[in-house]
């Protein structure tokens, strides 16, 4: 997409909300692209994302070929989960500046979020070859290798990322899940626990710890893990469901019955699951 066309598209789509970039007030002092960019940065720093977006779009309308402005706009759209707009913005940056490392990384991570692994992988490889400190790119590449069942390679990348940012719970969780997929139980438990220690409210890590406990036949521990992130009856149903998936129907029955007892109203999902497992044996 040509950058000038992208300006019109972004401005039009932003205008669907409260954002506007029209500056027809003849009494206003002229504002340069650089001034609007600086004003956008100031708004972003104080947490006013909408105002930052307006200023960046104004700056872009004055200077359509500014990679820095395009990158900032793309970053905002990515934070808002507007992945198609983010992708267009980052691609526009790369049309102007193909070796823009931040844009290559950001585009790759957007593509990964969209499930476009074949496009994301070469970009991530390019980024980590150019800059070995890019822990987000290492994490993304590790995720791809896990999807490809290349678990040792994935674990090596996660470990490198953790050395760069040991306080990121997502990295420990992802490394733990890679170990889990590879049947490395002690290592999986260690990393899930590390993720939870860093962020006690990290739902994904608690869920993965629950998976680990079920796989290790520690069902009551699994229940306690799921109770951290679910209501009591949902937690019991989750454990029962995982037991059912492992064809451990007697344990599944126990937890579905518990889920039903814990629910204050008719819990259809648990009743249906219980009916299913009772027909299995």
Domain coverage including residue 276: 230-281
Tokens of 165: 């940012």
For residues 74 and 15, state if they share a domain: yes
CA 94 to CA 11: how far, in whole Å?
20
Q: Is residue 59 part of a domain?
A: yes
Q: Is residue 173 part of a domain?
A: yes
CA 191 to CA 156: how far, in whole Å?
14
| Contacts for 85 with CB less than 8 Å, ≥ 6 apart | 9, 10, 13, 74, 77
Q: For residue 201, what is the domain's CATH number? A: 1.25.40.10
Question: Which residues of the chain are modeled with pLDDT < 50?
Answer: 8, 12-27
Count the domains in the chain. 3
CA 89 to CA 8: how far, in whole Å?
12
Tokens of 50: 């909408």
Q: Can you give the pLDDT at residue 87?
A: 98
DSSP letter, residue 4: H
For residues 224 and 270, state if they share a domain: no
Tokens of 135: 């822990």
> CB-based burial of residue 28 (10 Å sphere; 0-12 exposed, 13-18 middle, 19+ buried)?
exposed
Q: Is the distance from CB of 84 to CB of 22 less than 8 angstroms?
A: no
């Amino acid at each position: 997409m040509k950058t000038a066309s992208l300006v019109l598209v972004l401005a039009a789509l932003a205008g669907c909300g409260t954002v506007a970039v029209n500056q027809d007030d003849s009494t206003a002092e002229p504002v340069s692209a650089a001034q609007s960019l600086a004003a956008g940065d100031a708004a972003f720093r104080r947490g006013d994302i909408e105002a930052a977006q307006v200023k960046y779009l104004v700056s872009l309308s004055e200077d359509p070929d500014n990679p820095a402005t395009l990158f900032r706009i793309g970053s905002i759209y990515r934070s808002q989960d507007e992945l198609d707009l983010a992708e267009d913005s980052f691609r526009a940056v790369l049309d102007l500046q193909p070796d823009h490392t931040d844009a290559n990384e950001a585009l790759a991570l957007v593509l990964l979020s969209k499930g476009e692994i074949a496009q994301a992988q070469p970009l991530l490889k390019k980024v980590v070859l150019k800059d070995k400190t890019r822990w987000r790119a290492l994490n993304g590449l590790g995720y791809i290798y896990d999807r490809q069942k290349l678990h040792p390679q994935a674990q090596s990348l996660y470990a490198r990322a953790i050395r760069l940012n040991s306080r990121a719970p997502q990295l420990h969780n992802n490394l733990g899940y890679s170990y889990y997929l590879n049947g490395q139980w002690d290592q999986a438990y260690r990393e899930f626990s590390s993720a939870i220690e860093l962020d006690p409210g990290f739902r994904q890590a608690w869920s993965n710890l629950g998976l680990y406990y079920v796989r290790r036949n520690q069902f009551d521990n699994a229940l306690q893990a799921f109770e951290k992130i679910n209501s009591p009856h949902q937690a019991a149903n989750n454990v029962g469901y995982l037991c059912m998936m492992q064809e451990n129907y007697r344990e599944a029955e126990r937890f579905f019955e518990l889920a039903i007892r814990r629910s204050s109203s008719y819990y259809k999902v648990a009743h249906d699951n219980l009916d299913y497992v009772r027909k299995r044996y």
